[in-house]
Amino acid sequence: MLKGVHQKLEAQQTPAFFVRGPSLFSRVIFFCALSVSIMAIDARFNYLSHLRQAFIAALHPLEVMANAPSDWYRDIKKYFSAHNQLVQENYALKQQAFEQQVKLQRLDTIQAENQHLRSLLNGNVPLQPNAVLGEISHMGRDPFTHVVVVNRGSRHNIKAGQAVVDSKGVIGQVTRVYPFTSEVTLITDKELSIPIQIERNQLRAIAFGEGNNTLDIPYLPTNVDIKVGDKLVTSGIDGVYPAGLAVAIVTKVQQNPESPFAKIVSTPVAGVSNHLQLLLLQLPDAKESAVPQPAAAETTEHKKDNINDSNNKAKTNAPH
C-alpha cells in the first residue's frame, strides 16, 4: 500500500528544467545579444527614437522629484544671499541719496548765484545743449583709426563737429555725416584733440589722442601742477564741447631731466566698448555763443560823441 502511494507521488513531480529555468549564463547571453541587436537597429534605422523620447518624458517627473531637494536648497540659499545683498545696497543707496540731496541744495544756491552774477555782467546764461540719442552700428573698417559709425545722419539734423558723449564722459566728435549714418572719431584717435582743464586747479591745456586708448597732454613744463588721479574735464573754450564734461583721469606723470616737458598720460572715462547708446550734442548757434557787449558799444558811441563835440567846439573857437 505504501509502495503504491510512493510511486504515485514520484509520477506527479514536475521536470527539473521548469523548476530551475534557464541558467544564469544563458540569460546573460540572451539579454546581451538582445541589447546589442536593439542598439544596432536603433543606430542603423533610428526606429527607437520615439520610444526613447516617450521613455524620457515618462521619467521626467521622477527626475524633477529627485532634483527637488537640491533645487530647494539652492533657491533658499540664493534668496537669503540676495536678501542680504539688497539690504546692504538699499542702506548704501539711502546714504548716497542723502548726501546727494545735501549737495544738490548747495548746487541750487551756486547756480542761482552764478545766474545772478552773469546777469550783472550782461553775460549770457549758459543753456543746456540739445542732444540726439544714437546707437553705435559698427566699428570703423580701418584698424589704424579709432572711428565708430552711429545710426544718425543728416536726416536727423546731425552736423559735422558735434560732440558725442555717453553717461560717463566725452566719447569723441562727429567727423563725417551721411544721410542715415555718421562717423564719430574717438578722442583716443591721433587726429583728434580736445581742450581740457584740470578740475582740481582749473589749469587749461589741450589733450591729444595717442591711438592706444590713452590721451597725451604735451608741452607742459616739468613743474606743472598735475597729479596722478586728477580729473580732466572740457574747458568749453572751443565752442564745441560744453564746459564741465568728464574726459579722462590722469594715470601717469613722468618727468625726464633731459626734457623741459613732462610726459602726462591719461585714460578716458567714457566706455565705447561697454555699451551702444550715446548722445550727439548739437552745436551752439552763433547768436547764442556770441557774448553781447552793450556796455562796450555804449562806451564807443559816447567816445564818438565826445570827439564830435570837441571838433565842433574847435571849429567855433577858431579865428576867422
How far, CA to CA in Å, does 72 sit from each of 60, 65, 84, 296?
Answer: 17, 11, 18, 79
Does one domain contain both 196 and 86?
no
**301 inside domain:** no
3-state secondary structure of 2: helix
Per the domain annotation, does 124 fall within a domain? no
Whether residue 136 sits in one domain with residue 73: no
User: What are the residues whose beta carbons fall under 8 Å from the beta carbon of 190, sequence distance 6 or more?
Assistant: 208, 209, 210, 211
Instruction: Give the residue among 279, 282, 283, 271 at the shortest CA–CA distance from 135.
Output: 279
Asked if 42 and 158 sit in the same domain, the reply is no
Q: Is residue 15 part of a domain?
A: no
155 & 55 share domain: no
Give the pLDDT of residue 230.
93
CATH label of the domain that carries residue 206? 2.40.10.340
d(CA 179, CA 177): 7
pLDDT of residue 20: 62
How far, CA to CA in Å, does 138 sit from each of 110, 144, 161? 42, 15, 20
Both 135 and 280 in one domain: the answer is: yes
Same domain, 177 and 100: no
pLDDT tens digits in sequence order for the chain, 320 residues long? 455 555 555 555 555 545 566 788 888 899 999 888 888 887 777 777 777 778 778 888 888 888 888 888 888 888 888 888 888 888 889 888 878 877 776 777 787 777 777 766 664 444 456 888 888 888 877 777 889 999 899 889 999 999 999 888 899 999 999 988 899 999 999 889 999 999 989 899 999 998 888 999 998 998 899 999 999 999 888 888 888 889 999 999 988 888 889 999 999 998 766 767 888 998 876 444 444 444 444 444 444 455 455 555 444 444 44
Domain co-membership, 79 together with 194:
no
Looking at the structure of the chain, the number of domains it has is 2
**CA distances for 48 relative to 30, 33, 256, angstroms:** 20, 17, 79
Please tell me whether residues 271 and 212 are part of one structural domain: yes
Task: Quote the domain boundaries for residue 98.
Answer: 24-117
The verdict on residue 269 lying in a domain is yes
In a domain, 54, yes or no: yes
Backbone angles phi, psi at 226, to 5 degrees: -130, 130
Q: What is the pLDDT of residue 315?
A: 46
Residue 183's nearest CA partner among 158, 204, 202, 200 is: 158
Domain-embedded: residue 84:
yes
pLDDT of residue 195: 94
How many Cβ atoms from other residues are within 10 Å of residue 249's Cβ? 16
Domain co-membership, 32 together with 58: yes
Domain boundary among 117, 139, 158: 117
Domain end point (choices 78, 93, 117): 117
1 part of a folded domain: no
Residues 79 and 151 occupy one common structural domain: no
Q: How far is CA 197 from CA 30, 205, 229, 234, 239, in A?
A: 88, 6, 14, 6, 14
Asked if 247 contacts 207 with a C-beta cutoff of 8 angstroms, the reply is yes
The one-letter amino acid code at 110 reads I
Assess if residue 316 is contained within a domain. no
Contact 140, 148 (CB under 8 A): yes
At 261, which amino acid appears?
F
Q: Note whether 77 and 149 are same-domain residues.
A: no
pTM above 0.85, yes or no: no
The pLDDT score that the predictor gives to residue 4 is 53
Q: 218 and 275: one domain?
A: yes
CA distance 316 to 222: 65
